[in-house]
Amino acid sequence: MTDFTTRATPVVASRGRRRLDGGGPRTGTVVAFLTPFFLPFVLFYLVPVGYALWQSLRVVRRTGGQYGTSYTTFGGLEQYVQVFRNGEFWASIERIGLFGIVQVPVMLFAALIMALLLDSPLLRLKAFFRITAFMPYAVPGVIAAIMWSYLYSPQLSPVVDLFNGLGLHPDFLGPNAVLWSAANVSTWLWTGYNMLIMFSALQSIPQELYEAARIDGAGNWTIAWRIKVPIIAPSIVLTTVFSIIGTLQLYAEPAVLRQISSNISSTFTPNMLAYAVASGNNYQQAAAISVVIAVITFVLSFGFMRLTSKKAGL
């Protein structure tokens, strides 16, 4: 018996070593799992960003006057100097800043109210209202803008006819209203999406917390604003950051409304300005505008996150 045990022990140990060695992750397996993510990330994100940065540092020169031969050369920060001297760029930034200051808080407040109502024990038919609120997000942005442009058009809109019958004569596409008409389309389109993020955060709150609050005498209103809202504050911050990024990327809504309104120019938003400049074959200037927009987006979103983190004591 003793000899058998002595001879068997190395065999068991070697099998154990083989099992432990073979159970760890191998480099090839890790690479195989990560490649489907990193390959598109590099090809469709890092490469375009790098190319845009490179293009923004180049300028077009001509030899022999205006009609001479053109060539592209390194120009340093010359394109960025032109961007910051461009009055249309600053006008579009001012316009989109006003848009964001008004539209983002209104949209997120509406999303929060809808999420709290869906999470309330007093509401019936929750599944129906949840799907109804989320349905606008399923509509592509261009299609949504076309739908609303029909409702804004004085010649086609039944809404305008209704207001005219009441003695009111709204001009949704006028110079003082067209920005807010575009804001209304964005709010209709994205409120349900933000509501779903907040509602998902509300669903993760333990029910025992509500029961303890009710035992202490808290009503539904107190529970909503003193317990639910502070707990889902990270989700509210997340939706705010998404909204800031989306605001600076605004393009589809004003671009569609521009087809029926002369009060929206080709440089109405920063993205529209970049597209208009690129359409004139000035790709280097358009790349510089795009880089500046990206930097502004990063500074605002990161700054907002830092500000909210400090207030939360994180």
Overall average pLDDT of the 70-92 stretch: 92
* Residue the block writes with tokens 């208009």: 276
Backbone angles phi and psi of 217, in degrees to 5: 100, 10
Amino acid 8: pLDDT: 44
Distance CA 198, CA 200 (A): 5
Amino acid 287: pLDDT: 95
| DSSP SS3 for 74 | strand
Distance CA 92, CA 182 (A): 14
pLDDT digits (tens, 9 = 90+) for 270-280: 999 999 999 99
Which of 102-116, 146-160, 298-312 has the highest mean predicted lDDT (pLDDT)?
102-116
Among candidates 241, 271, 240, 242, which has minimal Cα distance to 255?
Answer: 271
Backbone angles phi and psi of 268, in degrees to 5: -65, -40
Amino acid 18: pLDDT: 47
pLDDT digits (tens, 9 = 90+) for 194-245: 999 999 999 999 988 888 988 888 888 899 899 999 999 999 999 999 999 9
Distance CA 241, CA 234 (A): 11
Q: What angle do CA 213, 205, 235 make, to 5 degrees?
A: 120
pLDDT digits (tens, 9 = 90+) for 148-194: 999 999 888 899 999 989 988 889 999 999 999 999 999 999 999 99
pLDDT digits (tens, 9 = 90+) for 41-50: 888 888 988 9
Among candidates 208, 189, 100, 175, which has minimal Cα distance to 142?
Answer: 189
Structure tokens at 305: 């996150």
**Confidence category of residue 248, pLDDT binned at 50, 70, 90:** very high
